[in-house]
Amino acid sequence: MPGQPAIHVKGAQGDEGRRTLGHANSLSEGLELEIWSVAPGSTRTAVSEGSESLLVVLGGTCDVTVRGGEHWASLGRRGDVFGGAATSVYLPPGASVAVASTNGAELAVVRAPAEAGGEAYVIRPDEVRRETRGEGSSKREVHTILDGSRPAHRLLVGETFNAPGGWSSYPPHKHDEHRPPDEARLQEIYHYRFQPEQGFGVQRVYSRDRGIDEVMLVEHGDTVLIPFGYHPVVAAPGYSLYYFWALAGEGRNLRLQEDPEHAWVARPA
């Protein structure tokens, strides 16, 4: 979309923490993602007025302190995103947080506009809901970290793992209209990692009227905003694909609609 705000932000090597995607540089209506690299022996601090946040440890171990409140030591049990389920910390709007690491850590920090209220809490790996979805070439593992069963205002967050050559968000689905109880209007962000890191995948974001129709080569560290429309993704053969996903919009129930042209793929034979 020449001249239009981005929906695809390429990864940056050696970045010590920046807003990779948000309302200032994309079609986002408030959903924001930062990737923090906390160097060994260092501390990062932040406060998000008017937004709730979820800090997800992508790799390494860190200590998290909320000013005037909780302190959690040694959060994180995996070396990278392919090493098991995540450890996360929910922060209500206005919370001031410090993240320190002795040996280094990487975190995804996702935010969404929210009214004041709520308490900070930890979601540990054994509290993440793990399930297998799809069959055949669209079989994938989904980890739901934050859903409507946990306290939050707007955020829904999780991780998905595709086998080499595998598809997800397939059959293509969307969640861009407020039509309860059939569909919820939710924008979404995908943040990608690959194993090995030189891997790649392909994502398409499109609507039935072709108001948007983008096909993107996604690589390690890339981030994609799904402002509306269907959004399937496939991993290249030989490379495991991971994406961190976060949604925010109207309500906290993920109600979606599949593309009727492709929904037959998932129906029993």
**Residue 266, pLDDT score:** 87
* Structural domain includes residue 126: yes
76 torsion bin: left (phi>0), alpha (psi -120 to 50), beta (else): left
What is the spatial distance between Cα 112 and Cα 129, in angstroms, rounded to a whole number? 22
* Structural domain includes residue 24: yes
* CATH at residue 20: 2.60.120.10
Region 92-97 average pLDDT:
96
Taking only the tens place, the pLDDT of each residue in 180-219 is 999 999 999 999 999 999 999 999 999 988 789 999 999 9
Residue 23: both structure tokens together: 């309302």
* Structural domain includes residue 162: yes
DSSP code string of 118-170: ---EEE-GGGSEEEEE--GGG-EEEEEEE-TTSS-SS-EEEEEEEPTT-EES-
* Structural domain includes residue 135: yes
What is the spatial distance between Cα 243 and Cα 220, in angstroms, rounded to a whole number? 10
Domain hosting 46: range is 8-266
Q: Which of 2-11, 71-80, 144-153, 216-225 has the lowest mean pLDDT?
A: 2-11
What is the spatial distance between Cα 208 and Cα 203, in angstroms, rounded to a whole number? 16
The total number of structural domains in the chain stands at 1
Note the helical H segments in the chain.
none
